[in-house]
Chain A
């Protein structure tokens, strides 16, 4: 198939939008429909940062100006899809609207993972996945409330920082001593985690066992019997991929709808992209499911190329960013390998970047705080498999750009 009659995209996150945008960018002229109960696609990273802080409005976080959809003949249907019928080339919504989709793209994302402990369904236990969630959380902590965050990963850490700016007092609970080690390496993870305490967040290492309400408010009890009182609890412990539509249609799934390297599912006319998809290589190896913004964008681009029978784009080493407590952190590639070494770059005794080399001396991962150019250079060095000199990496006066050329 080189040009399908129609494309139906289920889900309007970055993955769904990226697919639609790239299909048009690559010259596809047939009808495209994006179906999402929340309507036009918007960017989610600002939900824990500038949207949460009301520095950007709902309009500001739209992925593209609303005129674009009409100008490019892309229909956005604010309805929930209840079933897909790839053999008939149609998807069906809750309102029983039947939308043609000779090709169907599943960009269904995921739902916030729940804590399976007593009290997890209390009204004061919130999650952050949508714009509505962000509005609700902001409202709930207004006026100097006490926020307890369970999970100190990217979302938890970013909300902790943003909530301080809203005047909330924040308790951050995580089972690990230093969250984010796999993403940025131990040295930078320690520096980042220590910032919470420096900025006034109460940091707790513990495993929550129960949430209950009493005269002190909404309390979180941890495994060691300690209790942390607050007004609102945010649970930020990852997501569960939404694969119901794929499963009901008989597609294979395993913690994500299984796709090949072209994002094609086990049905030839159905593709899956973003958080809800998981790649199975030709030899059967299952890759770890990725939950990053860039992954959603890239898989959308790949699906668009595959749908049109074009060469698949080559993507760089995976990359992510986070913003908290006034610093910008980025990571690229893999900061963990079984063999190899980690090189730390320091400025005035403070670690600013970490580099992971494999046993052949090739750079495979880099993370940096407030040095985006170093990460951009590192990404190119990783992509080109350039052997590097650890002494140069450690030298803050050495410009990495020289190695990347």
Chain B
């Protein structure tokens, strides 16, 4: 398992907002968006819509889904599944944990489904 990156306190990302961790910082090929979903949990996906280049972190977060700001594709934050066309390919997930009030991101550790 890769090293966790402490991306800050849970209070740094408001519910319904996201923070982008750059590929350089995460040591990954793509930027990662860490979402604070409306269920109170944190989730991370590659910060790119699988339909066409667009930042998912700029998208509309509702419940545990994010809607791409460009063409309205929707992704499940828990599984990365493409919930709505035009996206038909899942977004890549990365494991996130909250430990002692800090949000820990595990780049390249996929998550089938978080609780």
Name A401's contact: one of B16, B58, B69, B71 (CB within 8 Å): B16
Q: Point out the residues of chain A lying under 8 angstroms from B85, CB to CB.
A: 18, 21, 63, 297
Shortest distance in angstroms between A269's beta carbon and chain B's nearest beta carbon?
25
Contact at B88–A376, with CB atoms within 8 Å? no
Do A321 and B71 contact each other (CB < 8 Å), given the known contacts A373-B58, A376-B60, A401-B16?
yes
For chain A, the bracket of interface size reads 20 to 34
- In the complex, what residue of chain B is closest to A17 when comparing beta carbons? B85
Q: Does A65 contact B (CB under 8 A)?
A: yes
For chain B, the bracket of interface size reads 10 to 19
* Contact pattern, A 17-28, Cβ under 8 Å of B = 1, otherwise 0: 010010000000
Question: What's the A-B contact tally at a CB cutoff of 8 Å?
Answer: 34
Q: Does A135 contact B (CB under 8 A)?
A: no
- In the complex, what residue of chain B is closest to A46 when comparing beta carbons? B52
- In the complex, what residue of chain B is closest to A55 when comparing beta carbons? B53
In angstroms, Cα B71 to Cα A50, docked, is: 14
* Contact pattern, B 68-91, Cβ under 8 Å of A = 1, otherwise 0: 011110000000000001101100
* Contact pattern, A 54-85, Cβ under 8 Å of B = 1, otherwise 0: 00100000011100100000000000000000
* Contact pattern, A 320-347, Cβ under 8 Å of B = 1, otherwise 0: 0100000010000000000000000000
Contact at A373–B60, with CB atoms within 8 Å? yes
Do A43 and B70 contact each other (CB < 8 Å), given the known contacts A373-B58, A376-B60, A401-B16?
no
Majority DSSP secondary structure for residues of B touching A: loop
- In the complex, what residue of chain A is closest to B54 when comparing beta carbons? A372
* Contact pattern, A 360-385, Cβ under 8 Å of B = 1, otherwise 0: 00000000000011001100000000
Do A376 and B89 contact each other (CB < 8 Å), given the known contacts A294-B72, A319-B72, A401-B16?
no
In angstroms, Cα B58 to Cα A401, docked, is: 13
Name the residue in B52, B58, B69, B85 with the highest tally of chain A Cβ atoms < 10 Å from its Cβ. Answer: B85
Contact at A373–B72, with CB atoms within 8 Å? no
Q: Point out the residues of chain B lying under 8 angstroms from A46, CB to CB.
A: 52
Q: Point out the residues of chain A lying under 8 angstroms from B16, CB to CB.
A: 401
In angstroms, Cα B67 to Cα A173, docked, is: 36
B46-64: which residues lie under 8 A (CB-CB) from chain A? 52, 58, 60
Contact at B89–A65, with CB atoms within 8 Å? yes
Shortest distance in angstroms between B15's beta carbon and chain A's nearest beta carbon?
11
- In the complex, what residue of chain B is closest to A297 when comparing beta carbons? B85
In angstroms, Cα B60 to Cα A319, docked, is: 15
Name A321's contact: one of B67, B70, B88 (CB within 8 Å): B70
A160-202: which residues lie under 8 A (CB-CB) from chain B? none
Q: Point out the residues of chain B lying under 8 angstroms from A372, CB to CB.
A: 58, 69-70
Shortest distance in angstroms between A12's beta carbon and chain B's nearest beta carbon?
14
Contact at A328–B70, with CB atoms within 8 Å? yes
Q: Point out the residues of chain A lying under 8 angstroms from B88, CB to CB.
A: 21, 63-65, 68
Shortest distance in angstroms between A364's beta carbon and chain B's nearest beta carbon?
19
In angstroms, Cα B72 to Cα A56, docked, is: 19
In angstroms, Cα B69 to Cα A73, docked, is: 32
Contact at B86–A376, with CB atoms within 8 Å? no
Pairs A-B, 4 closest by C-beta atoms: A372-B69, A376-B60, A64-B88, A297-B85
Interface residues of A (CB under 8 A from B): 18, 21, 43, 46, 50, 56, 63-65, 68, 294, 297, 319, 321, 328, 372-373, 376-377, 401
Interface residues of B (CB under 8 A from A): 16, 52, 58, 60, 67, 69-72, 85-86, 88-89
Known pairs A321-B71, A373-B69, A401-B16 / 16 extra A-B pairs, C-beta < 8 Å: A18-B85, A21-B88, A46-B52, A50-B52, A56-B52, A64-B88, A65-B89, A294-B72, A297-B85, A297-B86, A372-B58, A373-B60, A376-B60, A376-B67, A376-B69, A376-B72
Between A and B, 18 residue pairs with Cβ closer than 8 Å are A18-B85, A46-B52, A50-B52, A56-B52, A63-B86, A63-B88, A64-B88, A65-B88, A294-B72, A297-B85, A297-B86, A321-B71, A328-B70, A372-B58, A376-B67, A376-B69, A401-B16, A401-B60
